[in-house]
Amino acid sequence: MAYTTIDDPTAYFQTALYTGNAGTQTITNDGNSDLQPDFLWFKERSVSGNHQLINTVSGINKKLMSNSTAAEATQTNYVTAIGSDSFSIGNNNGLNQNSVTNVCWQWKAGTSFTNDASSTGIGSIDSAGSVNTDAGFSIMTYTGTGSNATFAHGLSAVPKVAIFKDRSSTGYWMTYHQAVGNGANLVLNASDASSAASVWWNSTSPTSSVFSIGTSNNINVSGRNYVGYLFADVKGYSKFGVYTGNGNDNGPFVYTGFKPAWIMIKRVAGSTGSWLMVDSKRDPFNSGVSANELGANVANAANDLSGDFKIDILSNGFKLRDDVGDCNASAQYVYLAFAENPFVTSTGVPATAR
């Protein structure tokens, strides 16, 4: 059996860097494969500014902010078009402020999905969205009932991470991570440690067909509309795991099975910690240099969170090079990672460190 089914991760995930011009522009991806993005996560780098999360299911004129509890808002002159390997933006300062540097992380879903629970017998409530079973990613929408429920997610694999937001009203971003388990939750818009309660996921782990939600106001109020981003592990392309820090500059090595293109790290117990994000486009060199980290839960500009946060991106994982509390105290951390290259391709070609 081949090591991986995805030889070219750029077909499913890419990072784009651009500088705002206060007008209009189209940003074309530069990977080996075309990527028509369905989930776009924008962040200003050189100045403080809100994260802007946009997807093709809710509509490209709708936005949510990972560092805010605000409801979904309609925004003009933001993302104006999605191309076969690009996206276009208007003159709104949130995405295109003159001379400001920006990053956009993009994921491909691409296949329309609907499930009528009463007709199919899968789940207890209806769901709809877009899914990519090859890449283990789906964008799902549903309407809350106020009672414990399940919905079909379309992945045909068990989700390891799921991130939810109430579109209709203010509310926290609720995050399930398999390493924390079905009895606890992480809040994407906050630095809080994990919290335990059955109201998050009804103390029920997801299956290859359905995801379980409890009765929390942040995830299941009757009549409110929600969006979820769900991810399953794909060998050589994505990994959602856990590691224990050691509190010194010779930090732990974390094996992913690929050279990471994007990593998000969160401390889960004992203390608070930001959701640190790094990528290989903004930090293209190795040798433990300070990373230009951004925090999913804050509006800070790049490299404005954790002091000398240092990380090595390796051909088969990453290694922490500092004792910063947000990523390497003597504590437990979860991570999400997507590949730049698999460790070994389906034809046996190994990747190299950058």
pLDDT in tens, 329-351: 999 999 999 999 876 666 556 65
Structure tokens at 72: 């979904």
Structure tokens at 44: 């200003």
pTM: 0.95
Choosing from 62, 82, 107, the residue where a domain stops is: 107
Do residues 74 and 127 share a domain? no
Do residues 168 and 68 share a domain? no
Q: 126 — alpha (psi -120 to 50), left (phi > 0) or beta?
A: beta
Do residues 220 and 117 share a domain? yes
Do residues 152 and 68 share a domain? no
DSSP state for residue 310 in the 8-state scheme: B
Q: Is 354 domain-assigned? A: no
Compute the distance between CA of residue 113 and CA of residue 275 in angstroms, rounded to an integer.
30
199: CB partners within 8 A, 6+ apart: 214, 215, 216
Positive/negative CA dihedral, 16, 260, 205, 175: negative
Residue 218: which domain range? 111-231
Nearest Cα to Cα of residue 234 among 353, 101, 134? 134
| Per-residue model confidence as pLDDT tens digits over 68-93 | 999 999 999 999 999 999 999 999 99
| Per-residue model confidence as pLDDT tens digits over 104-158 | 999 999 999 999 999 999 999 999 999 999 999 999 999 999 999 999 999 999 9
Choosing from 91, 107, 123, the residue where a domain stops is: 107
Residue type, 177: H
| Per-residue model confidence as pLDDT tens digits over 309-326 | 889 999 999 999 988 889
Q: Is 347 domain-assigned? A: no
Do residues 171 and 64 share a domain? no
Residue type, 120: T
For residue 352, pLDDT beyond 90: no
Choosing from 59, 85, 107, the residue where a domain stops is: 107
| Per-residue model confidence as pLDDT tens digits over 188-223 | 999 999 999 999 999 999 999 999 999 999 999 999
Do residues 95 and 148 share a domain? no
Do residues 192 and 301 share a domain? no
| Per-residue model confidence as pLDDT tens digits over 38-50 | 999 999 999 999 9
Are 44 and 100 spatial neighbours (Cβ–Cβ below 8 Å)? yes
Do residues 49 and 121 share a domain? no
**How many domains would you assign to the chain?**
3
Give the DSSP letter string of 254-298: EE-SEEEEEEEEEE-SSS----EEEETTT----TTPBP--EETTS
Are 37 and 89 spatial neighbours (Cβ–Cβ below 8 Å)? no
Residue 161 has a pLDDT of: 98
- Per-residue exposure over 161-187, b if at least 16 CB sit within 10 Å of its own CB, e if not: bbbbbbbeeebbbbbbbbbbebbbbbb
The domain spanning residue 220 has which CATH number?
Answer: 2.60.40
Q: How far is CA 42 from the centre of its chain?
A: 12
Q: Is 88 domain-assigned? A: yes
Give the DSSP letter string of 125-194: S-EEEEEETTTTEEEEEEE--SS-EEEE---SS--SEEEEEESSS--PPEEEETTT-TTEEEETTS-PPP
Q: Is 220 domain-assigned? A: yes
Do residues 300 and 217 share a domain? no
**Residue 292: band (very low, low, confident or very high) from pLDDT cuts 50, 70, 90:** confident
The β-bridge partners of 319 are 253, 312
Compute the distance between CA of residue 271 and CA of residue 285 in angstroms, rounded to an integer.
31
